[in-house]
Amino acid sequence: MSGLLIRLVAEYIHREATTQSLITVRRVELEDFGKQATIFISVLPENMERPALAFVEHHLRELRDYVRDKSDLHTLPHFSVILDPEAKREIVEE
């Protein structure tokens, strides 16, 4: 199910976000038997992280509606979003 959610979340963000930043959905972690889903994103350029995070947070209700319309999930999770801390670690390691 997380693969489906990653695809649908990425589609929604790509469709709705501006071109001022690149928002990448890195993973979705399900909790509480699929009732909660945490979306991990990375953002480029780095100075756009806060606006991009605020954008996604502001659109979580519409995102949930989009996932409901595009999937046949019986249990639709409530979404939250955070910046993926592993994304910066990967850049530093390179």
pTM above 0.85, yes or no: yes
Q: Which of the listed CATH numbers 3.30.300.20, 3.30.470.20, 3.40.50.12780, 3.30.750.80 matches domain 2-85?
A: 3.30.300.20
Q: What is the pLDDT of residues 62-80, one digit of tens each?
A: 999 999 999 999 889 999 9
What is the model's pLDDT at position 18?
Answer: 86
Domain boundaries, the chain: 2-85
Question: For 24-35, how does the pLDDT look when each residue is reduced to its tens digit (9 = 90+)?
Answer: 999 999 999 999
Separation CA 90–CA 68 (nearest Å): 33
Q: Which contacts of 75-79 are long-range, i.e. CB under 8 A and separated by 24 or more positions?
A: 75/33, 75/34, 75/35, 77/5, 77/30, 77/34, 77/35, 77/36, 77/37, 78/35, 78/36, 78/37, 79/9, 79/37, 79/38, 79/39
